[in-house]
Amino acid sequence: MNKKIIACCSLVGILLSLSCQKSFLNVQTTTPTPSNDPSVANDLVTGAYSSLIFIDAGGGWNYDTHGISFIAATNIMSDDADKGSFALDQPGINDLDNFTETSGNPFVAALWNGYYAGIARTNNALNALAVAAIDSATVRRLNAEMRFIRGYYYFNLVRFFGGVPIVLYVPSGPRAANTDTTLVTRPSAADVYSKVIIPDLQFAMDNLPLKGQAIKGRITKGAAETLLAKVNMYLKNWQQVFDLTKDVINSGQYSLVSDYSTIWKEVGDNNAESIFEIQTGQFNNSDAGIPLYSECQGPRNNGATWSNPSFPYAPTGDLGWGFCTPSLSLINAYEANDPRKIATIIFVNHDSSTTLWDGFVIPPGSGVQSPYYNYKAYHSEKLESFFNNRDRQIKNVHILRYAEVLLMNAEAATQLGGDAMTPLSQVRARVGLTTASATQMDVWNERRIELAMEHDRFFDIVRQGRAAQVMQAAGKNFKAGINELLPIPGTQIALSGGRLVQNPGY
Amino acid sequence: MKKSLTIGSPRSYAIKKFLLVMKLSFLLVLLGSLQVSATVKGQTDITLKLDNTAISKVFTNIEKQGVYRFLYNSRLKDIQEQVSIDVSNTGIKEVLNKIFEGKDLTYKLLENNLIVVLSRLPALQDIQVTGKITGASGEILSGVSVTLKGTSRGTTTDNNGSFTLTVPENGTLVVSYIGYVDQEIPVNSQSVLNIKMEQSSKALDQVVVVGYGSQRKIDVTGATATVKGSELVKQPVLTATQAMQGKVAGVQITSSGQPGSQPSVRIRGTGSLIGGAEPLYVVDGIITSDITNINTADIVNVDILKDASSTAIYGARGSNGVILISTKQGARGKMQISYSGNVGIQSATHLVKMANAKQYADYVSAATFGITTVPVTGVSTNWYDQILRNAVEQDHSITVSGASDNTKYLLSVGYTNDQGIVINNDFKRLTVRTNDEFKLANNLRLGIMASYTNGVNQNVNLGTAYNDAYRAAPIIPGRVNGKYGNTSLYQNVGNPILDINNNNYHATDNRLQGNAFLEYKPVGWLTLRSSIGADWDNVVDRGYIYQFFADTATFITPGGNQSNPNSTLSFTTANSLHWVWDNTITFNKRFGDHNFTLLVGTTSEQISSTSSYASVQGVPADPNLWYLHNGNRALPFTNDGFGTNQTRNSYIGRLNYSLLDRYLLTANFRADASSNFPAKNRWGYFPSVGVGWVITKEDFMQSQKIFDLLKLRGSWGQAGNDFTQAGAAGYTLTLLQNLPYYFGGGSSSGSAISQIIDKDLKWETTTEYDFALEFSTLSSRLTGELSYYSKIVKNALINVLVPSTLGSFNPSGGQGYVLTNAASVQNRGVEISLNWHDKIKKDFSYSIGGNITFNQNQVVGLNGGQPYIDGPIGANQPYVTKTNNGQPIGSFYVQKVIGVFQSLAEVDAYTDKNGRILQSGAQPGDFKYEYNANGQLDSVYAGSYQPKAYYGANIALNYKSFDLSIGGYGTMGGKIYNGKKAFRQSLLDNIEASTATNQWTNANHSQTEPRANGGNLPASTYYIESGSYFRINNINIGYTLPEAILQKTRVITRLRVYVAAQNPFTFTKYSGFTPELQPPTPTSASLTNAPPSGSSPTSAGIELNAYPTVRTISLGVNIGF
């Protein structure tokens, strides 16, 4: 009997020892490290670029950089466009359009979340580049690309919100904000310009190649220089604006394209005028544009069946959600015979049907929600690249183009007493218009028309110090001293433990 | 009778002494009247002077002198005779002779100064008796104690249930076995005695399953409870836990009526904050987290381990309590076949009444002061009627079982079909189980338990449909002549019927769960056991979304944005394998009054899973063509996949010690290592100790007749939680992949580190102590238990929402979060349970039982100091709960409504101290919100979903062949946030009928309801309602055919028919669909920031689109052959 016991005990002993192999517990795959695998840093850089298109796959409802929240807080808020769709659709955008938004506005929250998520991508990429086994020249260029995107994101944030927390590194953990309160404390807007935006763009400008030497789609020296000029324009450093724009003009990299109406079509992608353009295209057998960018601005029906049998995607349907409709204020701002009017705005005929440039037929006005739609956002599902994912239609978004450089140069010239006429008339001549004078107001008006629906109008009138006047003239309930900035999202204030201070009036 | 005790043939003094002590204690325990003391050695003379003293007392006096010990039966004739004696320095023999003079007594002096006192009467003839002892249904009982009454002579049955014992021909055998009623059998000169034992109905004699073993209930020092399988099968519900609702104090179970769902269980409050708040399930010793595959008819008992001292044996998995499920086994005897089945009708109850077309139109018009008018269509659609239906539910199972000398077998087949009350829904489940045991040798057993489940679930797009049904305007028709009303055109809300009909979700689940063990008992006190269990699960989810356009082929009126230009077919295939290997050694030995059971062992487990996902578009609508290769490759297609792997390795130990069966001690220790944590924090150590005192076993309690049982117990222990959500390693960074960008005209794939992580992630640890009093009184008619517990979860793991500036991104939308050890949560409470059962006359018996648990839940420490906000509802209410120190988890934190403005004068009069009008834009009929002294809008804590108390009650009556049982449960003190009401996003969303009726108007100056409005109100106390309710969840009336009739059939041995009503009555003030909200609270709709998957108690109690309460009336039968 004793033998049996000993035998059993030793058997069990063996079993016990078998089950305690250490490696048994190491099941987690660890993240590849950039020091071992150069593709990690490269991929993180591409991932940061990708944040220009989208952050969350849900379509920019929660994390947005250039989707519906961006459109709402730039075009729709300005006097160039109205919310569109039908009255009760998306009350949050209604609130932005009517300046009744509160700190709980989900679109405002999506912008805050989206831009900081994008900034985190650039910071992570910069971290990885610091240890990556890549040659130093490439690392310098990639660093510069990342810092351009980061600077651009902060520039948008500071224009939306004023001073925002400066985050230039990857926080260590969930309680990082307890040890570094700057992560949830608002500096002044001036600090954001001087501590992040200008140094980042300066670095980018100093370390990036000219457009002619860069791969299409990558950030160039010209982009950094133009954005730095624009930043200085907001800071009213007119000499810098003038010098930087002059430098871009003299670089010989850019020129105006002859047909204004092609700029926003696929044929205009990365044209001679393009300086900084968000690239979109096909990915994984599907469209991968900015979520909803075209769809949310597409003409929307009003109970009528539309008939376009040669458009196989929606032969009987409409084109989108009908947001961001050009305003009468904008329509009335065009000079007679300015071809930019019909290149920018889809005018829906009330009594007969309307045919778009690709042959798509919109029925008479009564079957359509709005008489005006944004042509610059229109994507042809027939004549342009389309892989049947309407939510992600391919549509490059032009953030900086050469015409704006000329107009910035002209504006600086009006301030400095230089030659504003030459650059201004260059812009106007392209569309067959003559130029009588080149006052500050002329340049401002030209900016509005040339860059209409290109996401700058609202920022411009705030920068120009006439937002209340312009908006009230357009019949908007704009409150001076309040509505120049968006409210800080209430959730973020709560999560900061109250450290984030709300903008006045919200 | 031989006048000596059988002591065996001792080989050494030590063994001899040991065996003697053991025998002595046997006598003591079994006869209770033998008096023994054992102390000294050596020969000494006696000096003694006593007058008129009972002989037994004389012995006591002699013993007091410290040399001799006496052993006698107190019932011996003459032993209480009085004698007088006066001796000094006299030899013991002389003294005894003197005392025994003229008495029928004699003595024997054994070595070691033991004196056995015996009767002088002539002895009867001894005979050898053999026999077999079985249970009521013929199963073999081994280890049964068989003793000769009045002696220590005895034996135990062997593995065949047989015994052999030499006894006097007129003796009486006392047969006793744990869990069975003791029996006394007169020998009457028979040489063969086969004895059938009956299971004890006394709960305290019952054996309960504890982790890695079983114990007599009376010996348990922790907080455990048992629910019998026979109780559970009375209810026509899918999952055993749902049938346990209200039956056990300290266990709160919430369920939804959704077919195939598993109810959520909270044992002694909510401690853990994330997905890991559910208890651990152990089915026949095998750890699992999902018991929807278990056929309730297969269950013998469910044992619940509630406190940390009981659950510590499960260490890292035990902090939320453990539910142990034991399935049936074949019983010795002839083969038994049984069938049980029921068929029922289900319907939705407690539906929310929505406004009709006129109320709706009036309301919209009032909200816009007449600007918006609603077209009159002559239609008034009740959308819930359109998507709900009466459904049929049925459940059948057949079991064949039996056992022979060396084999036990059981085979059961079950089939369930639950149509569900939502159109298109359907759930079918087939289960096959076999439990077999083989005796390979006298001391070697092999057991195999295996079950196969095939579940087919025809799911519906419920979240969207419910949300849409609540919002859709009643003026739009649902479906006319096959064409749908176009709600999307009118108000941008999908048609709920179309939401459901345009999707075809079909999930097939094949699951094999099995367990094999080998148990070796080389000697009686040693058990070696090795068991390996495996759980393999294969789920194939097929989804097909039909192609349809916003045209007249689909809609009555074309337009709107509810359309799907290309059909989509998707397949998700998920495979998981979970294996557990346990090895244990159990020593069980009694040393005199000391009984020890020591268990040591190891266990290791692995859970690995892989899933793959693929979808294509443009597959034709014919279901026969729903395969991926039929997709149109010119349209987008995707393929993706995921995998997880978790391992654990543990060492376990437990000591049970009882002294005199009345002083009890249990000590546990478990060391656990889990792959879910970084190496430095991987090991967790979980000790526990429990003590018990069975007061009624004390000598001083022997004379009282009030209590049959009185037991005090207390325990302290620690258990852990290693966050068992699949794939949530938590401490490793994962890359977000496939982020496109375009360089040089082509696409590149990027990646992102989209989260920040807590590199110091560690266990959450529960420390709990509890005290309890158990009693049984009035001839065991009243039994009860009273407990107090206090448990603190330290380092509770939570997905903490972090400021977006930290850069943590939530891929499913919503605020970014980080998994971290974030809080300490305390639950303190009192549990009371009482059961009364009695018999009135022969034919009528009844029982009444009830239990109540008072629980206080509180956050006692926030690690890092930040409160956690959660519970987003739509656009204007980004969060409605705040989990903060001193408050229950998930407390609602909202603006306080202090009234409704009745006039503009009231608006103007509502000012701060400086005279500034606080709500300057308000109109009469708008809410008046509370502002603080500084004139700022204030938020207040307004309760949480955590109930202050929850309770259950049940009544059972038996009269002749009829039986009736009624069960109910409820909660008190919890609050519910009426999220669906708060979610009203647009003026054109429908309102509830009561909102339309009660709204503030110039004629109706309501103080609580606002004027007609367009929704989008801020989060406030207006949406908070009482969550208290009481539900009678089961009424069951049965009739059992009398035995006399059954005997005539010769085939049927048992037949019971019954009618059951499930959820017939609910009493609540809550205005929503159900106050019983099963977490994770479903959230929905595009603008809602959906909480992280797995949801959390920090957002519990928000009703957004709960499955309505399902009432079932069913008819059932149980037949035995």
Q: Which residue among A46, A216, A387 sits closest to B744, beta carbon to beta carbon?
A: A216
Q: In chain A, which residues have their Cβ closer than 8 Å to the Cβ of B647?
A: 24-25, 27
What are the residues facing B576 on neighbouring strands? Answer: B537, B609
Q: What is the mean pLDDT of residues B1004-1008?
A: 91
Amino acid B759: pLDDT: 79
Say whether A432 sits in a helix, a strand or coil. coil
Chain B nearest C-alpha distance from A299 (Å) = 12
pLDDT at residue number B864? 62
Mean pLDDT of A61-86: 93
CB atoms within 10 A of CB B904: 11
Q: What does the pLDDT average to over B785-798?
A: 88
CB atoms within 10 A of CB A424: 26
Residue A488 DSSP code: P
Question: What average pLDDT does chain A have?
Answer: 91
Interface test with B, best of A88, A158, A366, A369 (most B CBs within 10 A): A88
Q: What is the mean pLDDT of chain B?
A: 83
Q: What DSSP designation does A260 have?
A: G
Interface test with A, best of B476, B751, B812, B920 (most A CBs within 10 A): B751
Termini Cα distance of chain B: 49
Tokens (6 digits) for A245: 């724009």
Say yes or no for a CB contact (<8 Å) between A282 and B743: no
- Taking the CA of residue A377 and the nearest CA in chain B, the distance in Å comes to 19
What is the rounded CA–CA span in Å between residue A230 and residue A248? 12
The pLDDT confidence band at residue B417, using thresholds 50, 70 and 90, is: very high
Rounded CA-CA distance A312/A298 in Å is 17
pLDDT, residue B32, reads: 33
What's the pLDDT band for B29 if we cut at 50, 70, 90?
Answer: very low
* pLDDT at residue A348 in the model: 94
* pTM confidence score: 0.74
| A318 in Cβ contact with A298 (< 8 Å) | yes
Closest CA to B36 of B21, B51, B46: B21
pLDDT of B18 > 50? The answer is no
A1:B731 CB<8 A: no
Can you tell me the mean pLDDT for B893-913?
92
Tell me whether residue A170 is exposed, middle or buried, using C-beta atoms within 10 angstroms of its C-beta: 0 to 12, 13 to 18, 19 or more: middle
Contact A215, A392 (CB under 8 A): no
User: Which single residue is written with the structure tokens 């309102």?
Assistant: B991
> Does B875 contact A92 at a Cβ distance shorter than 8 Å?
yes
Residues of A in contact with B492 (CB under 8 A): 86, 88-89
* pLDDT at A449 > cutoff 90: yes
B806, B866, B877, B939: best to mutate for the A interface, most A CBs within 10 A: B806
**A29 to chain B: nearest residue by CA?**
B732
Confidence check: pLDDT of B976 > 90: yes
The model's pLDDT over A209-221, given as tens digits with 9 standing for 90+, comes to 999 999 999 999 9
CB neighbour burial string for A148-169, b if at least 16 within 10 angstroms, e if fewer: bbbbbbbbbbbbbbbbbbbbbe
- β-strands B897-900, B927-929: how paired? antiparallel
Contacts of A47 in chain B (CB under 8 A): 736, 739, 750-752
- The A residues from 199 to 228 touching B (CB cutoff 8 Å) are 215-218
Burial B152-183 (b: 16+ CB within 10 A, else e): bbbeebbbebebebebbeebebbbbbbbbeeb
Task: Say whether residue A61 is in contact with chain B using an 8 A CB cutoff.
Answer: yes
* pLDDT for the residue A349: 93
B1092 preceded by a cis bond (ω within 30 of 0): no
Q: CB–CB of A47 and B750 under 8 A? A: yes
Among chain B residues, CA nearest to A108: B875
> Using an 8 Å Cβ cutoff, are B670 and B38 in contact?
no
Q: What is the pLDDT of residues B430-458, one digit of tens each?
A: 999 999 999 888 888 899 999 999 999 88
Which residues, 6+ apart, have CB-to-CB distance to A259 below 8 Å? none
Contact yes or no for B636 and A45 at CB 8 A: no
Long-range pairs for A304-309: beta carbons < 8 A, 24 or more residues apart: A304/A363, A304/A366, A304/A367, A304/A368, A304/B558, A304/B559, A305/B551, A305/B552, A305/B558, A305/B559, A306/A361, A306/A362, A306/A363, A306/A367, A307/A361, A307/A363, A308/A360, A308/A361
Percent of chain B having pLDDT more than 70? 90
Task: Please return the burial class of B506, using the count of CB atoms within 10 Å of its CB with bins 0-12, 13-18 and 19+.
Answer: middle
Predicted confidence (pLDDT) at residue B990 exceeds the cutoff of 70: yes
pLDDT at B274: 62
Do residues A423 and A256 lie in contact, with contact meaning Cβ atoms separated by under 8 Å?
no
Residues of B with CB below 8 A from A49's CB?
Answer: 741, 750
Cα(B747)–Cα(B241) distance, rounded to whole angstroms? 52
The DSSP code sequence of B700-755 is GGTT--SEEEEEEEEEEEEEEE----TT---SS--EEEEEEEEETTEEEEEEEE--
If contacts are CB pairs under 8 Å, which of residues 426-485 in chain A contact chain B?
A: none
* Tokens (6 digits) for B799: 């997905």
Structure tokens at B173: 């055998």
Neighboring chain A residues of B816 at a CB cutoff of 8 Å: 113, 117
Q: In whole angstroms, give the CA distance from residue A106 to residue A489.
A: 8
Are B760 and A215 within 8 A, CB to CB? Answer: no
Question: Is B807's CB within 8 Å of A61's CB?
Answer: no
> Chain B: nearest CA to A440, how far in angstroms?
38
Candidates A4, A11, A19, A23: best to mutate against B (most CBs of B within 10 A) is A19
Tell me the H-state helices in B962-1005.
979-982, 993-998
Of A392-406, B283-297, B723-737, B805-819, the poorest mean pLDDT is in B723-737
Q: What are residue B528's phi and psi, to 5 degrees?
A: -110, 135
Residue A443 has pLDDT above 90, yes or no: yes
Over residues B769-778, mean pLDDT: 90
Spatial separation of the C-alpha atoms in residues B980 and B382, rounded to whole Å = 17
| Residues A221-251: tens digit of each pLDDT | 999 999 999 999 999 999 999 999 999 999 9
Between residues B783 and A207, the one the model is more confident about: A207
Helix intervals (H) in B573-665: none
Q: What is the percent of chain B with per-residue pLDDT over 90, rounded to a whole number?
A: 27
Q: Are A170 and A150 in contact (CB under 8 A)?
A: no
Tokens standing for A112? 């805050």
Four-residue CA torsion sign, B374, B379, B384, B386: negative
Does A489 touch chain B if contact means CB atoms closer than 8 Å? yes
B730 pLDDT band, cuts 50/70/90, is low
Grade residue B1082 by pLDDT with cuts at 50, 70 and 90. very low
Residue of B nearest to A218 (CA): B743
Judged by a CB distance cut-off of 8 A, whether residue A39 touches chain B is: no
- Using the beta-carbon criterion (under 8 Å), do A174 and B741 form an inter-chain contact? no
Work out the minimum CA distance from B508 to partner chain A, whole angstroms.
28
Report the DSSP beta bridge partners of residue B1037. B964, B1059
> How many residues can be counted in chain A?
506
Query: Six-digit token pair at B982?
Result: 């708060």
Burial readout B261-299 (b: 16 or more C-beta within 10 A, e: otherwise):
bbbbbbbbbbbbbbbbbbbbbbbbbbbbbbbbbbbbbbb
How many angstroms separate the first and last alpha carbons of chain A? Answer: 85
Higher pLDDT among residues B857 and B79, named by residue: B857
Q: Which amino acid makes up residue B859?
A: V
Q: What is the pLDDT of residues B379-401, one digit of tens each?
A: 999 999 999 999 999 999 999 98
pLDDT at B48 over 90: no
**How far is Cα B171 from Cα B146, in angstroms, rounded to an integer?**
12
Decide if pLDDT at B1087 tops 70.
no
Q: Pick the range with the lowest mean pLDDT from B142-151, B761-770, B955-964, B1035-1044.
A: B142-151
Where would I find the beta strands (DSSP E) of B272-327?
280-283, 286-288, 299-305, 322-327
Residues A426 and A434: their CA atoms lie apart, in Å, by 9
Indicate the residue type of B482: G
Q: With CB atoms and an 8 Å threshold, state whether B558 touches A303.
A: yes
The interface residues of chain A toward chain B in range 142-171, judged by CB-CB distance below 8 A, are 165, 167, 170-171
Contact B585 A12 (CB under 8 A): yes
Q: In what order do the strands lie in the sheet with B183-186?
A: B154-156, B145-148, B172-176, B183-186
β-strand pairing of B426-441 with B407-418: antiparallel
Does residue B1016 come out as left (phi exceeding 0), alpha (psi in the -120 to 50 range) or beta?
left
Set of chain A residues whose Cβ sits within 8 Å of the Cβ of B1091:
none
Question: Which residues in chain B are contacts of A491 at CB distance < 8 A?
Answer: 815, 869, 878-879
Residue B153 binned pLDDT confidence (cut-offs 50, 70, 90): confident
Indicate the residue of A9, A26, A495 with minimum beta-carbon distance to B802.
Answer: A495
Contact A8 B804 (CB under 8 A): no
Sign for the pseudo-dihedral over CA of A365, A367, A371, A377: negative
Model ipTM value: 0.93
Q: Give A50 to chain B, closest Cα distance, Å.
A: 5
How many A-B residue pairs are in contact by the CB < 8 A criterion?
320
A175 in contact with chain B, both atoms CB, cutoff 8 A: yes
* Bridge partners for B837 per DSSP: B847
Tokens standing for B931? 């502002």
Whole-angstrom distance, CA of residue B706 vs CA of residue B814: 62
State the pLDDT confidence band at A6, using cuts at 50, 70 and 90. low
User: What are the structural domains of chain A?
Assistant: 9-180+465-506 (1.25.40.390), 251-440 (1.25.40.390)
**Would you say residue B658 has pLDDT above 70?**
yes
The model's pLDDT over A112-135, given as tens digits with 9 standing for 90+, comes to 999 999 999 999 999 999 999 899
Q: How many CA atoms lie within 13 A of B981 on its CB side?
A: 25
Number of H helices, E strands in chain A: 19, 10
Q: Is the pLDDT of residue B771 over 90?
A: yes
Mutation to test the B interface, candidates A9, A17, A111, A113, most B Cβ within 10 Å: A113
CB contact under 8 A, B875 and A89: no
Sole residue written with tokens 């204004």: A260
